[in-house]
């Protein structure tokens, strides 16, 4: 006879895995859109270079400043694509092991970078100035997925031209990540957080959500306990 506890644990792991797939798929889709935009700009710049070469008479040179400007535009987009792919590579390696050591500051910065396109579309200001460099040992893929979900939903909650601040600091042996949001100088109520999906991932990480005034807080243990 099957142990009901084993069945429940299996179902929970399936739900966690499904939510992680949804989060990383959304991040991957966003990154692919950014790369497509970069390629479109590079293609346009390459077309301009071709036009300049066709316009040049045999005894006349092409204006140097036009060549320099176009080349600089291409180099800027290549640099932008390179940085995006570095973040994408970090995301891809989050699932290399069931648990891994990570500094919380780097993890938050990764998530902010992955959601950069959505922030730009809504003209949001995202501040990560006060971040602890403390390390934790956790399920990195699940942690990134949870933070990404929270951040994306914050963007929808705050609205256009809002401001979001993210901080992380030690609380005893734990690490507390705090989110605050403002819109037109008014603090945004975050009582709708966490939802069921966010609670599911937090439970897997043995983490807890709470509210401190208008701030949403996520408290993470220094080490994820063994199942």
For position 150, what pLDDT does the model report? 98
- The string of pLDDT tens digits covering residues 38-96 is 999 999 988 888 777 777 655 566 677 777 888 888 999 999 999 999 999 999 999 99
Sorted by sequence, the CB contacts under 8 Å of residue 197 that are 6+ apart come out as 19, 149
- Scan for tokens 């301009």, then name that residue: 48
- The C-alpha atoms of residue 122 and residue 175 are separated, in whole angstroms, by 29
Cβ-based neighbours of 2, under 8 Å, separated by 6 or more: none
- At 1 the pLDDT is 45
Spatial CA neighbour of 137 closest among 192, 83, 98: 98
Which has more pLDDT, 153 or 9?
A: 153
CB-CB neighbours of 64 under 10 Å? 8
Q: What is the pTM of this model?
A: 0.87
Using a pLDDT cut of 90, give the percent of the chain over it: 73
**What are the boundaries of each domain within the chain?**
4-92, 99-220
Examine the pLDDT at 9 and tell me if it is beyond 90. Answer: no
Helix (H) or strand (E) holding 114: helix 104-114
CB within 8 A of 72, min separation 6: which ones?
A: none
CATH fold of 4-92 reads: Helix Hairpins (1.10.287)
Topology adopted by domain 99-220: Heat Shock Protein 90 (3.30.565)
pLDDT number for residue 86: 93
């Amino acid at each position: 006879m099957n142990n009901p506890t084993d069945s429940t644990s299996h179902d929970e792991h399936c739900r966690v895995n499904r939510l992680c797939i949804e989060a990383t798929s959304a991040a991957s889709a966003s990154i692919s859109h950014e790369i497509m935009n970069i390629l479109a700009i590079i293609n346009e710049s390459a077309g301009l270079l071709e036009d300049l070469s066709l316009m040049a008479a045999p005894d006349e040179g092409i204006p140097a400043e036009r060549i320099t400007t176009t080349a600089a535009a291409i180099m800027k987009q290549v640099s932008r694509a390179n940085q995006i792919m570095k973040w994408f590579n970090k995301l891809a390696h989050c699932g290399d092991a069931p648990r891994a050591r990570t500094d919380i500051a780097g993890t938050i910065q990764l998530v902010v970078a992955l959601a950069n396109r959505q922030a730009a579309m809504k003209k949001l200001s995202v501040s990560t100035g006060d971040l602890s460099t403390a390390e934790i040992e956790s399920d990195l893929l699940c942690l990134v997925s949870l933070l990404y979900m929270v951040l994306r939903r914050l963007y929808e909650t705050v609205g256009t031209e809002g401001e979001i601040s993210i901080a992380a600091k030690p609380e005893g042996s734990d690490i507390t990540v705090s989110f605050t949001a403002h819109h037109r100088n008014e603090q945004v109520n975050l009582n709708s957080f966490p939802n069921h999906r966010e609670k599911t991932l937090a439970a897997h990480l043995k983490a807890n959500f709470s509210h401190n005034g208008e701030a949403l807080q996520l408290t993470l243990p220094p080490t994820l306990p063994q199942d």
